[in-house]
Amino acid sequence: MINDHAIASASPGEMGPWDAAGAKLVEWDAAWAAACMKMTIDPWVDGVLPRKFVELVGVALNAACTNLNPEGTRRHIRAALQTGATRDEILTILKMASVMSIHSCSLGAPILLEEGKAAGARSAPRPPVATPACDKMRSVGQWNTAWDPFFQLDPVWTDAFMATGAGVYGSGTFAPKEVELLSVAFDASYTHMYAPGTRRHIKGALVAGATIEEIMEVLKLCVVQGVQACNLGVPILAEELERFQRANVGSTAGRN
Q: What's the CATH number where 101 sits?
A: 1.20.1290.10
Question: 125-182 pLDDT, tens per residue?
Answer: 889 999 999 999 898 888 999 999 999 999 999 999 999 988 888 889 999 999 999 9
The reported pLDDT for the residue numbered 85 is 98
How long a stretch of residues is the chain? 256
Q: Give the total number of structural domains in the chain.
A: 1
Note whether residue 160 is domain-resident.
yes
Looking at the predicted structure, is the pLDDT value of residue 217 above 80? Answer: yes
Structural domain for 197, as ranges: 48-116+126-233
- pTM, full prediction: 0.89
Note whether residue 111 is domain-resident.
yes
Higher local confidence (pLDDT), 209 or 139: 209
**Identity (one letter) of the amino acid at 254?**
G
Torsion sign, CA atoms 30, 33, 39, 40: negative
Average pLDDT over residues 4-17: 58
Which neighbouring-strand residues pair with 12?
15
The reported pLDDT for the residue numbered 71 is 95
Spell out a b/e string for 99-124, using b for 16 or more CB atoms within 10 Å of the CB, else e: bbebbebbeebbebbeeeeeeeeeee
The reported pLDDT for the residue numbered 195 is 96
Question: 80-132 pLDDT, tens per residue?
Answer: 999 999 999 999 999 999 999 999 999 999 999 999 999 999 998 889 999 99
Note whether residue 255 is domain-resident.
no
Note whether residue 37 is domain-resident.
no
The reported pLDDT for the residue numbered 13 is 53
Note whether residue 238 is domain-resident.
no
Note whether residue 146 is domain-resident.
yes
Estimate to the nearest angstrom the gap between the alpha carbon of 99 and the chain centroid.
12
